Amino acid sequence: MGWIQSFVVVSFVFVLLLPVGKSEAEDVIEALVEFMKKLVPGSMQNIPNWGWNATSDPCLNNWHGVTCDTGNKTVKNIVLEQLNLSGTVDFESVCKETNLLLLSLKYNNLSGSLPQEISNCKQLKLLYLNGNKFSGNLPDSLHDLTNLVRIDISNNELSGNLPDMSRNTGLSTFLAQNNRFTGELPNFNYRLLEDFDVSNNDLTGQIPDDTGKFGARSFAGNPRLCGKVLPNACPVGKKKKKRSHDFLIYSGYAVLALIVLVLVAILFLKKKAKHEDNEFSSDSYTKKGFKSTKDSSFSSESKTGHTRSEFSITSAENGGVSASLVVLSSPVEAVNGMRFEDLLRAPAELIGRGKHGSLYKVLPSGGGVPLVVKRIKDWEISRVEFKKRMQRIDQVKHPKVLPLVAYYCSKQEKLLVYEFQQNGSLSKLLHGSQNGQIFDWGSRLNIASNMAEALAFMHKELKDDGIAHGNIKSSNILLTKDMDSCVSEYGLMVVDNGSQNSNAFNVDVYGFGVVLLELVTGKAVQSNGVDLAKWVNSVVKEEWTGEVFDKALVVEGANEERMVALLQIALKCINDSPGMDQVATMIASLKEEEERSMASSGP
């Protein structure tokens, strides 16, 4: 009987040692409660099943915003977004005691700095702190988060230098735009990154040569930053100091030489202009000006043998070639120094013709990147208003909006110049040959999120100017050489008062909703005479929602719940005309839900 008594005693002690009603350790719960107190949740505590107290368990009692592992033993994700939290973040408590994979506190009013203790979150993969009021310098210890995959600290008040993240070989996203960062760009594994943005800060120095896939839009808004993708060229090397009197002497020589060159150039151009009037306008120009032609898409052969397409028509005002090409803050070297006459001589290929104009691919005679020239017709707008509109659009930069690099305007001609995007448009990718490219659910959701964010930004910045896009469609969403998406031709259309909705910004939202329908259905806007928006509305009304999804997505095994969510956002855009900022927030939340799901299912 002795061994039985011993067994009973041991069993009793073992039972006493078992935690009762708790899956997480007491110190973890205490740390989480302290973390929440400093966030100043206020009235949030009145939310049913709020939790976040020492008498309950975060996993077993489903605390608000908390997700645990599959065994409900350990807290893995904390997502507290758009809750108007206004305190500070106790990284020391939450990072010391937990093994978080995801921390998202985006779109609150949190303030304070990010402490060195953030490095205690060793397992962290996803960190979203964007849309708050964080200030001060980023901690150097941030690079110790070697498991970090995505970090978004954009739209805060952070300053100082960016940390060296070269040790973070798994990092795919680093977003730090719209802050106050200074200093030079540190080391990143740029070739491994998928998304990178440090625009609208105060960074200085040269952009590293290995930034590769990231163009000017990722670095715009940093006036003292230089590099081959930016208008600011970096100095070749340090120049030797010269004595002041030597400098004045040489400057004088340079000014005199420049004056002589300008005078010679003016005389040369006057003679050349007269000669070219007779050369390239012989079949359409008379002593009284251009004679009208029935076919506005005529072409003529130049002396070089290249075809000069319809954008080669020039204005007869002032007796000859009109005002020169206006080059904006262009990162495209081929455009810098280019004249209107250079466009006329360059080989041009007609690649598209639409209701409001034609599109040409142009190869600059000096080599370099190919350009696209958009010729607009039937746009009743004065030269003054046109110039004002183009310059205003040029002032508003967003990484996902294709910048205008140059324009030309006369009474008869309005031409716009962009950098040619070699991978075509979203429309071509969806409805044409994909050439073996995989266009999965994640890629489509990423494009939807990027485009919504870009349009929301442009609407906000240009609202007072009344400049919307006016013609949002999948063919105006282009794909860069790295298959990154960007909105093209922003602000080139004015919505008619007689349209279905005279509010140009609402027209953009409607058009974007149709693009979302194309993404989830894989169908074109018009197919066999059937309007896509009307068809989807009718199918959903009959509760056959599952029938609308692209079969490729279904075969892929894309999450149906999130596909339905994106479909509902699309229908909201079409039927209710919400603000573009609201649309962007909904899609961003959906994208992050997808990322959380991927992170939770990962190793």
> Which has the minimum average pLDDT: 99-113, 284-298, 465-479?
284-298
Do 65 and 196 sit in the same domain of this protein? yes
Does residue 598 register a pLDDT over 60?
yes
Q: Which whole number is the average pLDDT over 225-230? A: 82
pLDDT one-digit tens code per residue, 486-538: 999 898 876 554 444 448 889 999 999 999 999 999 898 887 677 899 988 88
The alpha carbon dihedral of 29, 35, 40, 43 has a sign of negative
pLDDT at 48: 75
pLDDT at 49: 78
> Which has the minimum average pLDDT: 140-144, 366-370, 469-473, 584-588?
366-370
pLDDT at 297: 32
The answer to whether residue 294 sits within a structural domain is yes
- Please count the structural domains in the chain: 4
Q: Which domain holds residue 540?
A: 426-601
pLDDT one-digit tens code per residue, 391-408: 898 888 888 999 888 888
> Which has the minimum average pLDDT: 286-290, 339-343, 419-423, 554-558?
286-290
Does residue 97 register a pLDDT over 90?
no
Buried residues in 466-478 as b, exposed as e (16+ CB within 10 A): ebbbbbbbbbbbb
Which residue is listed with tokens 């030309």?
408
- Are the beta carbons of 69 and 4 closer than 8 angstroms? no
Question: Beta partners for 158?
Answer: 136
The answer to whether residue 175 sits within a structural domain is yes
Do 66 and 206 sit in the same domain of this protein? yes
- Identify the three-state secondary structure at position 279: helix
The answer to whether residue 312 sits within a structural domain is yes
Separation CA 52–CA 267 (nearest Å)? 80
SS (H, E, C) 394-436: HHCCCCCECCCCEEEECCCCEEEEEECCCCCEHHHHHHCCCCC
Do 414 and 555 sit in the same domain of this protein? no
Separation CA 345–CA 23 (nearest Å)? 75
- Are the beta carbons of 449 and 591 closer than 8 angstroms? yes
pLDDT at 282: 29
Do 199 and 331 sit in the same domain of this protein? no
Separation CA 413–CA 350 (nearest Å)? 17
pLDDT classification of 292: cutoffs 50, 70, 90: very low
At which of 392, 419, 446 does a domain end?
419
Of the candidates 158, 117, 103, the one whose C-alpha atom is nearest the C-alpha of residue 134 is 158
The amino acid at 97: E
Q: Enter the tokens of residue 548.
A: 């609308």
Does residue 319 register a pLDDT over 70?
no
CATH for 359: 3.30.200.20
Separation CA 5–CA 467 (nearest Å)? 86
pLDDT at 238: 42
pLDDT classification of 314: cutoffs 50, 70, 90: very low
Does residue 200 register a pLDDT over 70?
yes
Do 83 and 158 sit in the same domain of this protein? yes
Question: Beta partners for 503?
Answer: none
The answer to whether residue 71 sits within a structural domain is yes
Q: Which whole number is the average pLDDT over 260-288? A: 50
Task: Look at strands 285-286 and 289-290 and give their pairing.
Answer: antiparallel
Separation CA 386–CA 379 (nearest Å)? 10
Do 130 and 85 sit in the same domain of this protein? yes
Q: Which whole number is the average pLDDT over 122-128? A: 87
pLDDT at 337: 62
CA dihedral 27, 28, 29, 35 (to 10 degrees): 110
pLDDT classification of 13: cutoffs 50, 70, 90: very low
Do 198 and 253 sit in the same domain of this protein? no
Separation CA 470–CA 393 (nearest Å)? 14
Task: Look at strands 406-409 and 357-362 and give their pairing.
Answer: unpaired
The answer to whether residue 235 sits within a structural domain is no
The answer to whether residue 500 sits within a structural domain is yes
- Are the beta carbons of 298 and 334 closer than 8 angstroms? no
Q: For residue 357, what are the CA distances in angstroms to 18, 115, 373, 422?
A: 76, 55, 10, 21
> Which has the minimum average pLDDT: 101-115, 243-257, 344-358, 457-471?
243-257
Do 415 and 442 sit in the same domain of this protein? no
Q: Enter the tokens of residue 507.
A: 């027209």
The answer to whether residue 287 sits within a structural domain is yes
Average pLDDT, the chain: 77
pLDDT at 332: 54
Separation CA 184–CA 164 (nearest Å)? 11
pLDDT at 158: 94
Residues 6+ away with beta carbon under 8 Å from 419:
332, 369, 371, 372, 402, 405
pLDDT at 271: 59
Query: What percentage of the chain carries pLDDT values higher than 70?
Result: 75
Do 293 and 395 sit in the same domain of this protein? yes
pLDDT classification of 586: cutoffs 50, 70, 90: very high
Highest mean pLDDT among 66-75, 154-163, 348-357, 412-421: 154-163
pLDDT at 60: 85
Residues 6+ away with beta carbon under 8 Å from 601:
none
Separation CA 54–CA 178 (nearest Å)? 38
At which of 378, 400, 419 does a domain end?
419
- Are the beta carbons of 129 and 153 closer than 8 angstroms? yes
pLDDT at 251: 63
CATH for 476: 1.10.510.10
Of the candidates 463, 461, 489, the one whose C-alpha atom is nearest the C-alpha of residue 475 is 489
Question: Beta partners for 327?
Answer: 406
Q: For residue 399, what are the CA distances in angstroms to 429, 452, 458?
A: 21, 12, 11
Task: Look at strands 195-197 and 173-175 and give their pairing.
Answer: parallel
SS (H, E, C) 536-594: HHHHHHCCCHHHCCCHHHHHHCCCHHHHHHHHHHHHHHHHHCCCHHHHHHHHHHHHHHH
pLDDT classification of 422: cutoffs 50, 70, 90: confident
pTM, two decimals, is: 0.56
pLDDT one-digit tens code per residue, 137-196: 999 888 888 888 889 999 999 999 998 887 787 888 899 999 999 999 988 878 778 788
Residues 6+ away with beta carbon under 8 Å from 178:
154, 155, 156, 199, 200, 201
Of the candidates 64, 34, 36, 65, the one whose C-alpha atom is nearest the C-alpha of residue 51 is 64
Does residue 483 register a pLDDT over 80?
no
Separation CA 330–CA 206 (nearest Å)? 17
pLDDT classification of 237: cutoffs 50, 70, 90: low
Query: What percentage of the chain carries pLDDT values higher than 90?
Result: 19
CATH for 178: 3.80.10.10
- In sequence order, which ranges of 434-559 are alpha helices (DSSP H)? 441-462, 504-521, 532-541, 551-556
Q: Enter the tokens of residue 230.
A: 């930016």
Of the candidates 466, 468, 391, 460, the one whose C-alpha atom is nearest the C-alpha of residue 155 is 460
Do 175 and 222 sit in the same domain of this protein? yes
Do 287 and 343 sit in the same domain of this protein? yes
pLDDT one-digit tens code per residue, 47-93: 777 888 888 888 888 888 888 887 778 888 898 888 888 889 988 88
At which of 419, 448, 475 does a domain end?
419
Q: Which whole number is the average pLDDT over 422-443? A: 78
Does residue 266 register a pLDDT over 70?
yes
pLDDT at 301: 35
The answer to whether residue 240 sits within a structural domain is no
271 is in an annotated binding site: no
Q: Which whole number is the average pLDDT over 289-317? A: 36
More confident residue, 271 or 245: 271
Do 192 and 111 sit in the same domain of this protein? yes
Q: Enter the tokens of residue 34.
A: 């302290």
Does residue 364 register a pLDDT over 60?
yes
